[in-house]
Amino acid sequence: MTSFIPGLPQLPKAPTGIEGLDEITEGGFPLGRPTLVCGSAGCGKTLLAIEFLVRGIQEFHEPGVLMTFEETADELAANVASLGFDLPALQAQKLLKLDHVHVDRSEIEETGEYDLEGLFIRLGHAIDSIGAKRVVLDTIEALFSGFPNEGVLRSEIRRLFRWLKDKGVTTIITAERGEGSLTRQGLEEYVSDCVILLDNRVIDQITTRRLRIVKYRGSTHGTNEYPYLISEEGISVLPVTSLQLRHDVSDEVVSSGIPALDDMFGRRGWYVGSSILITGTAGTAKTTLATAFAHEMCRQNKRCLFFAFEESPQQLVRNMRSVGMDLQPCVDSGLLHIEAARPTLNGLERHLVTIHRLVKQLKPEAVVIDPISNLVSVGNIAEVRSMLTRLIDYLKVNGITALFTSLVSGRNIQQEMTEEGVSSLVDTWISVRDLEGVGERNRGLSILKSRGMAHSNQVREFLVTEQGIRLLDVVIGPSGIVTGASRLTQQIQEQALAAAHQQELDRRDRELERKRRVLEATIANLRTEFESVEDELRKINDEELTREQALALGRQQVARAFPTEKNPNPAGDGNHA
């Protein structure tokens, strides 16, 4: 993002329309000023200049003039036709003016007179005839080859650049690379407001093109070397450090395609638009895990782009069918596009442009690259990291969920560090590894990190079956997690312990039942004894009650038999003594 002080006027710029170039120039070339594009043969100077004109016409409605001093108009039109640029059609619409100026040094030496006055008149007429806003002069060496006097040459170069500025047209002037200087004359770079250096180099038999902004008067700009490509769609500049970490994020979660793996994430999956890295040694089912995600995206009726660097599409479809994933219907419906090629087919930048092109064409919601470690064969680690950084940022900006697999090799190195060094760039990192036991080899899976959500810290053993990947439950032994045959042994031991424990429980139940019956029998005996005593006491009480009743009855009978006599003389009689 351009940094500026509020209130101060900013340098007006003319956007180039070339992918990536406007980003690193922070808006385009200086408006109404000349820009020098220099480089060696084959680096694409003329193509960049023509694309600047064509994009200006098509996207910004600015007519242009192309004045060439080497190739004719027909030759130029034929050269760029393969890129989709129809120069004759633009000429017919009076949006583009092509003018070939033939400069023959032998004729100049014969006459002894040569200056740029005629060029100014010719160029001015071409500009005015179509109202041009953009001009390209290709190349300046041919124009100034007729100046034997270096002093006159420098004066005319300055006069040309001043004339272009006064005319107010945004101009690109191409120049050949000199020895010890940017151009052969060594002056153009000083009088230009903006200087772009193109470089074409071969490293390890792979051609790489680089672009650098040498200077830009009145504006900040990217100062690094940026790789660029010449493809079927023109020039693509691939900035590295100019990308800003500003993009929308989503709270939506997408499944990995393996339910048990989803359960290891706090949100049951990973975020849409995030980047996922699966690392592991050879044979740890990285491709199967990646394909499970691609298959799940297609099952949800979402488009997925799959880059395979090790298998052909037919081989991938066949192999995945053996593990319960039929990719052919996905391919036939257009939901899955498999792009298969050896990494050495193209350089890193070409691979990146291919990905960009397919993303624009197919508009997928997910991209899988299997594996990224193969890219090391076409570039050093720093270049691969740079390419993957640009790719991850590009996919994030477009809200595309990206899954990468990477091969880690060697048992004596820390296998949790990828050779490409991109583990710190991704949002989710899953490690699959060998869990070697006695005479067997098993697979284990763990989540090393997952930004923005909780996740399991367990190492889960998994199997690749005919129904897909199946994660096994964690079994803890005396020395930690056990796998494979040790898992089976542990399960047998646990089953034996469980059986013994059940037998002990059954024995205790039987003992408890016996004691219960004994107690119940004792209670029954005591109850019988209590009832006998109670009956005896009741009989005694009954007998005592009967006896008492008999005694009372007897007394009543005696009382009735001997009643008490009454006195006839109550006052008394003295004769009775």
- DSSP for 162-196 reads HHHHHHT-EEEEEEEPPSSSSSSSS-HHHH-SEEE
Residue 377 lies in a domain: yes
| Of the residues 420, 442, 474, the one at which a domain ends | 474
Q: Do residues 93 and 181 both lie within one domain? A: yes
Q: Do residues 217 and 274 both lie within one domain? A: no
Task: Give exposure, 329-357, as e/b (b: 16+ Cβ within 10 Å).
Answer: ebbeeebbbbbbeebeebbbbbbbbbbbe
| Of the residues 474, 509, 528, the one at which a domain ends | 474
Total domains present in the chain = 3
Q: Do residues 277 and 381 both lie within one domain? A: yes
- Residue 109: the pLDDT is 44
Tokens of 476: 């803890």
Q: Do residues 33 and 177 both lie within one domain? A: yes
Residue 181 lies in a domain: yes
Q: Do residues 212 and 259 both lie within one domain? A: no
pTM, 2 dp: 0.65
Q: C-alpha distances in angstroms, 226 versus 56, 303, 337, 364?
A: 22, 31, 30, 27
Contact residues for 391 (Cβ-Cβ < 8 A; gap 6+): 352, 355, 402
Identify the domain containing residue 417 by its residue range: 253-474
Residue 277 lies in a domain: yes
Q: Do residues 230 and 285 both lie within one domain? A: no
The CA distance from 212 to 209, in Å, is 10
Residue 459 lies in a domain: yes
The CA distance from 342 to 154, in Å, is 51
Do residues 51 and 136 touch, judged by C-beta distance below 8 A? no
Residue 172 lies in a domain: yes
- Residue 413: the pLDDT is 39
Do residues 53 and 64 touch, judged by C-beta distance below 8 A? yes
- Residue 107: the pLDDT is 47
- Residue 97: the pLDDT is 93
Q: Do residues 279 and 168 both lie within one domain? A: no
Do residues 220 and 11 touch, judged by C-beta distance below 8 A? no
Q: C-alpha distances in angstroms, 221 versus 134, 370, 378, 429?
A: 21, 35, 29, 35
The closest alpha carbon to 338, from 304, 361, 310, 364, belongs to: 304
Q: Which amino acid is at 51?
A: E
| Of the residues 441, 474, 507, the one at which a domain ends | 474
The CA distance from 284 to 432, in Å, is 6
The CA distance from 566 to 10, in Å, is 157
- Residue 89: the pLDDT is 92
- Residue 570: the pLDDT is 53
Q: Do residues 185 and 301 both lie within one domain? A: no
Q: Do residues 458 and 487 both lie within one domain? A: no
Q: Do residues 229 and 258 both lie within one domain? A: no
Residue 4 lies in a domain: no
Which CATH number goes with the domain that contains 452? 3.40.50.300
Q: Do residues 142 and 50 both lie within one domain? A: yes
Do residues 466 and 510 touch, judged by C-beta distance below 8 A? no
The CA distance from 503 to 48, in Å, is 86
- Residue 185: the pLDDT is 64
Residue 569 lies in a domain: no
The CA distance from 197 to 177, in Å, is 9
Residue 557 lies in a domain: no
- Residue 414: the pLDDT is 45
pLDDT by residue for the chain (577 residues), tens digit each? Answer: 444 444 456 789 999 988 788 888 888 999 999 999 998 888 889 999 999 999 999 999 999 999 988 888 888 888 888 888 899 999 999 999 998 887 665 544 444 455 678 888 989 999 999 999 999 998 887 776 655 666 677 777 888 888 989 999 999 999 888 766 667 666 667 778 899 999 887 766 667 788 989 999 888 887 788 878 787 778 888 764 445 566 778 899 999 999 999 999 999 999 999 999 999 888 889 999 999 999 999 999 999 999 998 889 999 999 999 999 999 999 999 999 999 887 766 667 677 778 888 888 899 999 999 888 877 766 667 777 777 887 888 888 889 999 999 888 755 334 444 555 677 889 999 999 887 766 678 888 999 999 999 999 888 889 899 988 999 876 665 555 555 556 666 667 778 888 888 999 999 999 999 999 999 999 999 989 898 898 889 899 888 888 888 888 888 888 888 765 555 555 555 544 4
Q: Do residues 349 and 218 both lie within one domain? A: no
The closest alpha carbon to 458, from 259, 288, 260, belongs to: 260
Helices (DSSP H) in 369-483: which residue ranges? 381-397
